[in-house]
Every structure is written in C-alpha cells, then in structure tokens.
Amino acid sequence: MNLDGIIVLSSVTSYLVYNRWGWGILHDIQYIASALSLAAVYAVASFHNQEKWLYVRLFLLLAIISMMVVYPTLSIMALRRKSPAYSFVSDSALQIEIAGRYILLGLNPYDSTYVNTDLAQWNYRDDAGNTINPALYTTVYPPLLLLSSAAQYAILSRFLGWSDIRILYLIAFVSVVALAIYRFRVTSRLFLFLALGIANPLFVSNFTQGANDIVPLALLLWAVFSIDRQRYLVAGTLLGLAFASKQTAWLSLPFILYYVWRMHHKKPFFLTSISFLVSSSIVYIPFLVWNAPSLIRSLFLYVAASPASHVPIHPIEGIGLSMLLYKLHVIPTLYSSFPFWILQSIALVAVGIAFLHANKTHVTSRSVLWYIALCSTVVWFFSRYFLEPHAAYLVALFGCAFTWQQTDRRKIRILS
C-alpha cells in the first residue's frame, strides 16, 4: 500500500471521530458511511501505480476532499442561514464579516467596537469563566480580509440576499488544490501534498468552522510557486497581499526575500521587493491615513498584550508555554502581563541563525517553507495564546513544506 493510502484512510477516520458531535451533516450516519467507504476504496486503489490508477486515485481523493471540506462547509453555511447570524460560525469569521460591513458603512473597524453586534451574542467563555469576548473591543486582522469581506458582502447580498465569509475561504482552498495539480501533475507527490497539507483532519475541521488561515496559506504558496517559475512581479504582489492578510504571513517575508536574493539575484530581488511594497501599501496606506494609531494598536500592541492598546487584555489560553507557566504559578492569573515578546525574539533570532547557517550556499523553496513553518511555531508557542486553529495552520504548512520538493516517485510504498 502506498503511503498516501494510509494517510488518507487515517485522516478521514480521524476527521470523522473528531467531528462525531460536530455541526450539521458531520454527525449524519449516511455521511460518515460514505466518507469511510471512499477512503477505503482509495486505500485499495493506492496498491496500484499504473498511470490509469493514478487518475483513479486523483478522482477519489478529490471526492474525499469534497466530502471533508466543500460539502460540510456548504451544509453548515445553509444551517447558519436559517439560524441567528452568530450560529454555526467561529467568532473570528463573524468578526471579519461585521468588520467588512463596517467599511461599507464608512466606519473604521480598527476604532470601532462590536458590543452592539451579533458578535456579542456569540457563546464565549475562557478558562477563568469570563464571558466577555476580547474580540468585542479590537480587530486583530490586517485589512485585506476585511476588504475582501466587504467586497463579498456587497456582491452576494445584492444577488443572493446573504453572505458567508467561508465562500471566500472555499475559493482560496480550491486555488491551493489547483496549484498542487499544476505543480505536481498526477503523481504520488500530489496526493501526499493534498493529504498532509490542506486536507489533514485538524486543518479541515477548523476550516469548516470559519478559520481564515487558508487565505494567507494560499497566497504564500502561490507566491513561492511564482518565484520558482520566475514570475517575480506576480510573486511580490501575492507576497504583499499575504502580508496584508494575517500577521503569521509577516514571518515569511525575510525568508522569501533572502531566497530570491541568494538564488535569483539582484534584478528578481528588486522586482519582487517593489511589487511587494506596492501591493501591501495599497492595502495598508488607506487605513494608516484613516486612523494610524488605531491600526497600530490593533495589529501590534493588542497582539503583544501591551497596556498601550487600551483594550481588555487577551487571556492566556491554549497549548503553548504561557499555559504551562500559568499552571506552574509563574504567571499568577490568565490576565497577567508577561514579556512573551522577549522569548519570541530570542526564538526568532535562533531560527534565523539556523536558517542562514543551513542555507549558506544553496537555498530551496522547500527549505524556505520549512523555516517559515518553524518560525511560526516558535512564535505561537511563546505567545500568550496558542489555539487549535494556529496548530492546524502549522500542521498544514509543515505538510506542504514536506512535499514541496520531495523526490518525485510514483511508488511510495511502505507495505508490500
């Protein structure tokens, strides 16, 4: 049996177990039986490596991805349409939708609160029993997601009478599938990329609820792919958009620019840098002109838990070092200040030194993705909060990095 067959079968099983009591269709017996049947058929098909069987496996894998991603997402969106707006969606997705409507109303989402919106009705409770969602008082996402939400709402509400931000996320997801097929063709490497990357159970489970990490991930992968194809203006533009979509994408900038400088030299570096500056500036500058202090407070000071942000501090939460320090009573309460930025800075310097040492003479795009994933891991681990969606993004990014430049073999077998 090929490795991808075992991964797909275990991923589908893990996904169904994890979501056994999930939203909507996820706990339907017929849905569960259909997904397991497809996974079993794929596992059997993975014993065969002839070219025609590769196409059969691709068809089956796309059907499985549709069963795990597209169908549940559309089903949950339909449930939400019949329910209050704060139902069947994550608070991050709900906030981005509301922020987009703020922009359409001429309100700056970075100096507005959400206390009189549907977000206030979202069921929130932290480990200390506090029911006041910190998201009510600050918008932590860079402008691209908010502008995209505004554009989507303006179009879909006019023609369909409703909008759900997960439509945008589905488009980003499909774009990564298209990228994988275009890059890897119909090979075992394609199957591994999809199974380990964007179709892993943790990432998919959070995606259906409204996690937005697929957007920066898609932009980042397309940017790296464009560099490999020597489309530097396109790469820089996509990198700038990724930079304007989420803070996790900021970490990719030095690695990618170093890669272009080291392996593609001065002119490509110049083209990539200029197009990056243009696209990111187009997104950021209007909000800096609108209210620069509010933007800085939301994107920098709040995330760093600085008192200068003037909003309720985000509680310590999740699976990182912060929770361990709290359990050991090094940090007295979930709301206590702690200089996590010092630990993050030390870790980032260490990763940067390791990257430069390992890539002194030759840099590959796969190595760049590996170190971006590693850099993101240490930042989240030493953050105030390291949540499940963050872990899901890291699993997807490591999965994509692992298969990005793996030796192309049609037979990747572990069982005879």
Residues above pLDDT 90, as percent of the chain = 82
pLDDT digits (tens, 9 = 90+) for 53-89: 999 999 999 999 999 999 999 999 999 999 999 999 9
Region 314-340: mean pLDDT is: 93
User: Which tokens belong to 52?
Assistant: 């025609």
Taking the model in full, what pTM does it have?
Answer: 0.93
| Res 409: pLDDT | 44
Flag whether pLDDT at 180 surpasses 50: yes
Region 155-166: mean pLDDT is: 94
Burial grade of 53 (CB within 10 A; 0-12, 13-18, 19 or more): middle
In whole angstroms, give the CA distance from residue 408 to residue 184. 9
The domain segmentation of the chain, as residue ranges, is 3-83+165-404
Region 223-240: mean pLDDT is: 97
Backbone angles phi, psi at 84, to 5 degrees: -55, 150
Q: Strand 385-386 vs strand 317-318: parallel, antiparallel, or unpaired? A: parallel
| Res 304: pLDDT | 60
In whole angstroms, give the CA distance from residue 80 to residue 345. 41
Region 232-242: mean pLDDT is: 98
pLDDT digits (tens, 9 = 90+) for 260-287: 999 988 999 999 999 999 999 999 999 9
Half-sphere exposure of 312 (CA within 13 A, CB side): 14
Q: Confidence class of residue 318 from pLDDT cuts 50, 70 and 90?
A: very high
User: Which tokens belong to 76?
Assistant: 């949950």
Flag whether pLDDT at 329 surpasses 90: yes
In whole angstroms, give the CA distance from residue 256 to residue 269. 10
In whole angstroms, give the CA distance from residue 43 to residue 125. 41
| Res 1: pLDDT | 67
| Res 410: pLDDT | 42
Flag whether pLDDT at 407 surpasses 60: no
Alpha carbon 171 to chain centroid, angstroms: 13
Flag whether pLDDT at 305 surpasses 70: no
Q: Confidence class of residue 313 from pLDDT cuts 50, 70 and 90?
A: confident
Q: Confidence class of residue 414 from pLDDT cuts 50, 70 and 90?
A: very low
Region 311-322: mean pLDDT is: 86
User: Which tokens belong to 133?
Assistant: 């969602």
Sequence-ordered list of residues with C-beta below 8 angstroms from that of 176, at least 6 positions apart, any chain = 197, 198, 214, 217, 218, 221
Task: Give the bridge partners for 385, in sequence order.
Answer: 317
User: Which tokens belong to 324?
Assistant: 């361990």
* 83, 132 contact by CB (below 8 A): no
Q: How many residues does the chain have?
A: 416
How confident is the prediction for the chain on average, in pLDDT? 92
Half-sphere exposure of 19 (CA within 13 A, CB side): 31
Region 158-162: mean pLDDT is: 91
